[in-house]
Amino acid sequence: MGKLKIKIPDLKEFLDEKALKYESPSFINDDPIIIPHQFSNFRDIEISAFITSIISWGNRKSIIKSSRNIMAYMDNSPYEFVMNHSEEELVNMNKSIHRTFNMIDLNYFVVSLKNIYENYGGIEDIISNKNYGSNIQERISTFKKIFFSINHPQRSKKHLPSPKDGSSAKRFNMYLRWMVRSNERGVDFGIWKKINKSDLSIPLDVHTGRIARELGLLSRNQNDSKSVQELDLKLREMDPEDPVKYDYALFGLGVYENIFKIQ
């Protein structure tokens, strides 16, 4: 099947309108971002969002259910649990939590997050530190190295991306969108102040990739780090200050609308 290219007279105006439509509180109810929205504490938001983003693949209802189970396991106080858990509290069993993410993975994530907060100042401090890479995608790869710098199960490494290895880092880029972009429209949080939203990259998944190709914004067939770079350039042309707002437009078109009907 050949590539479909949909011609829209003013693509920026069209996507601006769709971004505005889908970045609204009504979006939250069906999206994994609902999990961190149940917290008010800065660190609870940060950790619940991070873990939720890690398991955000597959059916969204299933992701939300799995994440609620994780939060319950952490006594619905994720930061307190990370920093003050005992070994006895970590249920050591090879039990699936969400698809291939299991209790072994979760327990390592808890232990590693404690190390990150105690020795690196937190996730934001790593991702915002230019010593860890010239751009955010490089720093995501460095974050993975730091995250697995203590004794770890080899199996758990697959749950964090490395753009240097070609990953689109969809889930991590989504997490950064949540943390960095303003809460002005009631969806993202804007609790991180050390990273500019203009430096964020699109969370590229099957939906955003498909729509981007249909709209002529992306030529590559793979949803990988090179495609993220290509799409980022196009989106920055339309809005250099907030390119990732178009995640809402592309995702919304892919999930809620039939793009083939657009004239």
Structural tokens at position 240:
């250099």
Distance CA 189, CA 179 (A): 5
pTM attached to this predicted model:
0.93
- In the chain, the percentage of residues whose pLDDT exceeds 70 is 93
Q: Is the pLDDT of residue 257 over 90?
A: no
Task: Give the length of the chain.
Answer: 263
Q: Residues 139-152: pLDDT tens digits?
A: 999 999 999 999 99
Q: Residues 99-158: pLDDT tens digits?
A: 788 899 999 999 999 999 999 999 999 999 999 999 999 999 999 999 999 999 989 899
